[in-house]
Structure formats: C-alpha cells, structure tokens
Amino acid sequence: MADVREAARLLEKAQRVVVFTGAGISAESGVPTFRDALTGLWERFDAQSLATPQAFQDDPDLVWGWYEWRRHRVSSVHPNPGHLAVAAMRNAVVITQNVDDLHERAGSADTVHLHGSLFMPRCAQCGEAAALPSTTGEPDEGRRVWPPSCVRCAGLVRPGVVWFGEALPEAALEAAARAASDCDVLLTVGTSGMVYPAAEIPRLAARSGAAVIQVNPQPTPLDSVALVNLRGSAARVLPDLVATAWPDQAAEDPAAEPS
Ligand code: APR
C-alpha cells in the first residue's frame, strides 16, 4: 500500500508521463503472453521460432495461420481495467510492444506501437500495405492458412509485426526514445524487459532522470531500474494507482452506455 501511495505521488506531480507496456497488460483480457506455451498445431513450436522472417519464408501458411488465429483471438476479447486505467491518464504517452489494439480500444488513441500491429499486413516483397482479409469466423487453432497475394506485385502478404532479427519502425522508435528521455515518470507494465531495443526505453528514461515505476507480478531485470516496484497484476494495480493519484477521476469504460 505504501508503495502504491509513493507511486501515485510521483505520478500526480509529474508533468510528463510515459506508460510502457508489454504482453502482461493484455494477459487478463485473455491474450496469452509471448512466453506462454502454445497449443494446437503450434504446440511443438515456441512463439520465438514462429516470429521470424525465416519461418515465414520456410512455411508461410503455418506462420500466416498463426497470426490470423491471433488476430481473431484479439478481436474477440476486450480491454481490461488495466488498459482503461492507462487511458484515464489523459496526457500520458503510451508506448507498447504489443501488436494488439487493446490500448486504442480502451481510449489511448495515439499509442506508439514499437513492434507493429496485427491489423496492418503488408507485402513481404514490395512493402505495399494490404487489406485485412475478410473474415469468415475464427480459423481453427492450429490451422494453416495460405497468405493473400499483394495487389501490386503478387508477392505474399505478411503480418505487419516486427519479427526477431528485424529493425523496429524508425518513427515509432524515435517517438518512444524522445518521450522516454523527456518524461518525469515512466510506468512500465507487464513486460519482461528482456527484448531489445524496446527494453532500452525504461532504462533510457531512468538515465535521463525520470522516476521509473514497475507493475509486474514477477521480478524482472527492470526491478533494479525501478524506483518503485508494484508486485501485482495490471488489471488490479493500475486502477488502484489511478484512483490513488487522481481520486476524482475514475477510469472510464468507453464501451459503457452513457448514464
Ligand atoms: N499483469 C502485469 N504483468 C503480467 C501479467 C499481468 N496480469 N501477467 C504476466 N505479466 C508479466 C510477466 O511476469 C512477464 O514479466 O508480463 C511479462 C510478459 O513478458 P513477455 O511475455 O516476455 O512479454 P514482453 O515483455 O511484452 O515481450 C517483449 O518480445 O516476444 C517478443 O515481440 C515480442 O513484444 C514482445 C517482446
């Protein structure tokens, strides 16, 4: 409790706040984290072996099927109280490693996506943006799906996410680095802090003099970077933090009917 009060005090007096999120913030919406075991056809793979340009080149229908299944799964779940609490921090810059759209659907419209998005496929050959395939329901877990062809060059369409070994989108990385070096408080939520260069963002904020607050039920390498470590789940801790920092301002659910 004392830690939540200390974190709330830091947030409340901060002029510039950055919220940096990872897979853990979406876990309570039902989106598995990257390090959760896969099921179905993907049981014998791990996410890291499917999320590479080589995997797509070797087995495009396996990889596209996996991403289509993930996209449908994300579309069928909802932002949780953690996402809503982040959206309630009105002036915060939200930087996420997640490829879902749950921050946006919670109300954080200008979220910076460091690792791309499940909803922005593009041609693997010429880079042309591609339309999302029209859907006929969720593909079965574990089903291979052949990727669509690019309308411009007939190359294979790939997911618009950053794979292991690929560069991060330059504009997103620049925006994230700028926000991290200029903020007073960086709140890091639900990330293992192990995948670079994204994991450099909270470290950059700390080096630039910001107070780092971490929300994670487990210890991470960012424990030593954080001034305050809040051990708990995002959906439980973040609403508590917002309510303590700004008692007059409850997290709003944009999906709720106006009263
Ligand atoms: N609330 C907060 N944190 C949680 C919760 C929760 N309910 N559940 C799990 N976590 C924490 C875990 O303890 C872990 O530290 O979320 C973190 C998830 O870690 P990862 O699966 O490694 O996810 P992330 O840090 O986002 O991974 C970074 O690596 O796999 C690539 O590109 C992928 O964007 C991803 C990146």
Output the DSSP codes for the chain. -HHHHHHHHHHHH-SSEEEEE-THHHHTTTPPPTTSPP-GGGGGS-HHHHSSHHHHHH-HHHHHHHHHHHHHHHHTS---HHHHHHHHSTTPEEEE---S-HHHHHT-TT-EETTB-TT--EETTT--B-PPPP-SSPPPTT---PPPBPTTT-PBEE-SBPPTTSPPPHHHHHHHHHHHHH-SEEEEES--S-STTTTHHHHHHHHTTPEEEEE-SS--GGGGT-SEEE-S-HHHHHHHHHHHH-TT-PPP-TTSPP-
Determine whether 113 is an active site residue.
no
**192, 195, 196, 198: CA torsion to nearest 10:** -60
The phi, psi pair for 90, rounded to 5°, reads -55, -40
Query: What spacing in Å lies between the alpha carbon of 216 and ligand 1's midpoint?
Result: 9
Going 141 to 25 to 168 to 49, the CA torsion angle's sign is negative
The pLDDT assigned to 259 comes to 40
Tell whether ligand 1 has an atom less than 6 A from the beta carbon of residue 195. Answer: yes
90-123 core/surface letters (b: 16 or more CB in 10 A; e: else): eebbbbbbbbbbbbbbbbbeebbbbbbbbbebbb
Query: What spacing in Å lies between the alpha carbon of 206 and ligand 1's midpoint?
Result: 20
- The closest of 5, 2, 11 to 188, measured between CA atoms, is 11
Residue nearest to atom 23 of ligand 1 (CA): 23
> Per-residue pLDDT tens for 25-52?
999 999 877 777 676 666 777 788 889 9
Counting as low any pLDDT under 50, the low residues of the chain are 253, 255-259
pTM: 0.93
The pLDDT assigned to 113 comes to 98
The pLDDT assigned to 228 comes to 98
The pLDDT assigned to 8 comes to 98
Tell whether ligand 1 has an atom less than 6 A from the beta carbon of residue 35. Answer: yes
The pLDDT assigned to 246 comes to 94
Query: What spacing in Å lies between the alpha carbon of 193 and ligand 1's midpoint?
Result: 8
DSSP letter string, 5-35: HHHHHHHHH-SSEEEEE-THHHHTTTPPPTT
The pLDDT assigned to 134 comes to 79
